[in-house]
Amino acid sequence: MNEYKYIKDQDTEVYKALIGEEEREKRGVELIPSENYVSRAVREANGSVLTNKYAEGYPGRRYYGGQEFTDQIETLAIERAKKLFKAGYANVQPLGGAAANVAMYFALMESGDTVLGMDLSHGGHLTHGHPTTSINKVFNFVRYKMKDVDTGEIDYEELREVALREKPKVILAGFSAYSRELDYTKFVAIAKEVGAYTVADMAHIAGLIAGGAVKNPFDYGFDVITTTTHKTLRGPRGGMILVREDADIAKRINKTVFPGIQGGPHMNNIAAKAVAFGEALQPSFKLYAAQILKNAKAMEVVFKAHNVRLLCGGTDNHLLLADVYGSLGITGQEAETVLDEVGITLNKNMIAGETRTALDPSGIRFGTPAMTTRGMKEAEATKLAELMIRTLKAKDDETEKKIIQQEVQALCEAFPVPDKFN
């Protein structure tokens, strides 16, 4: 069956671009650590008739009629999310990770209040209060950093000192470019001392938490978790907010998501979240999460063997950050481009202590969620890392790049993108 039958008949331009993207995703190896391949079931739900429906409000309390099926679907998504993350409450309506963070800030704080979060250059995220973001006009953001960029150890003493001085209302753990586990117990202890809420933005590692491969911040007493539902969690593009046990916080979160900052929830997207959460509750998802870590470790071994400096000294999760400029004399942008040429997609990334620019930094960031979805294991991760190093050393060698491209191609043919996982 041609899944784009009607688009093909009706809109050639969009059809061609869609087919182009589908082919691109199949024929290259995806190493952007925030991307993944969702199941066909998730895509069916996302492309379903639910895109037609308005459903402002929450199950049982909506502002429009005709909600018998939307209520069933949102309730399924909520209950599955709660089970996956051991949460007391879940709001599955945020349209993305940024929307989830904005809602969380407004639910937990008054304007002018302070958030203590990880510095962007040390792995934090734009939505943790970067000066270019709008929330920076509403709340006051202060930072903590790593103590040692070559081990990834967070400077918990500095974190405590800043917390005692600045009296944040929210202490935020979480990152988009950091490869170590956090010491959640220390965050909770410092937050208790200053009377702050603890929030973990686990967008990158949600699937790893759900699959039991890394620690769950709720087990250490965190109040709130915000996340995306794509990335390692392998659901549709979207967001979610989880509350460990406080009913009052949950109520404030719900009111802030709707009507606070959003209108009608995207029910097609919520159905796709429910399907993805159902997949993540299967025993096989635990194996998937564990394999993501094993594959990342296998890549770490190769990069270290070639003396390429890894930020944080390696990885405990799904991603790695390599200082390719310092180690191989190739910039992050050059690395991204040349790897793209051989069929390996990743992203350039600033590194802690960056001496270059955001658009052409020293580092690259890559990870294993998507290649692991294709069924690749340590042997393929090792092979890919070796191909990456060869490519980075062969920037201007067209013959070598051609050979590497063929090897990448062979890997992609041996490990097709699957339609289903369980």
Name the active-site residue from 25, 44, 56, 354.
56
- Could you confirm whether 183 is annotated as catalytic? no
Which residue among 46, 176, 256, 368 contacts ligand DSN (CB under 6 A)? 176
- The residues that bridge with 174 in the sheet, in sequence order, are 201
Q: Quote the least distance from Cβ 172 to ligand DSN, whole Å.
A: 14
- Residue 362 interacting with ligand DSN (CB under 6 A): no
C-beta of 34 vs 67, nearer to ligand DSN: 34
- Residue 36 interacting with ligand DSN (CB under 6 A): no
Q: How is 162-227 classified by DSSP, letter by letter?
A: HHHHH--SEEEEE-SS--S---HHHHHHHHHHHTPEEEEE-TTTHHHHHTTSS--GGGGT-SEEEE
Name the active-site residue from 30, 74, 119, 201.
201
Name the active-site residue from 54, 183, 341, 397.
54
* Site map 38..77 versus ligand DSN, x via CB under 6 A: ----------------------------------------
C-beta of 58 vs 141, nearer to ligand DSN: 141
- Residue 232 interacting with ligand DSN (CB under 6 A): no
- Could you confirm whether 228 is annotated as catalytic? yes
Q: Which of 53, 83, 85 is nearest to 71 (CA)?
A: 53
Q: Which sign does the torsion angle of CA 44, 49, 52, 55 carry? A: negative
Q: To which H or E segment does residue 409 belong?
A: helix 398-414
- Residue 34 interacting with ligand DSN (CB under 6 A): yes
Question: Mapped to the 3 state alphabet, what secondary structure does 52-118 carry?
Answer: HCCCCEECCEECCCCCHHHHHHHHHHHHHHHHHHCCCEEECCCCCHHHHHHHHHHHHCCCCCEEEEE
C-beta of 229 vs 254, nearer to ligand DSN: 229
- Give the whole-angstrom CA distance, residue 147 versus residue 79: 39
* Contact (Cβ atoms closer than 8 angstroms) between residue 279 and residue 81: no
- Could you confirm whether 201 is annotated as catalytic? yes
Q: Quote the least distance from Cβ 125 to ligand DSN, whole Å.
A: 6
Q: Quote the least distance from Cβ 179 to ligand DSN, whole Å.
A: 12
Identify residues 87-106 at the interface with ligand DSN (CB under 6 A).
97
**Matching residue, tokens 């590692």:** 205
- Could you confirm whether 56 is annotated as catalytic? yes
Residues in the chain: 422
- Give the whole-angstrom CA distance, residue 150 versus residue 47: 44
C-beta of 174 vs 278, nearer to ligand DSN: 174
- Could you confirm whether 232 is annotated as catalytic? no
Binding positions for ligand DSN, rule: CB under 6 A: 34, 97, 125, 176
Annotated catalytic residues are: 54, 56, 201, 228, 231, 237
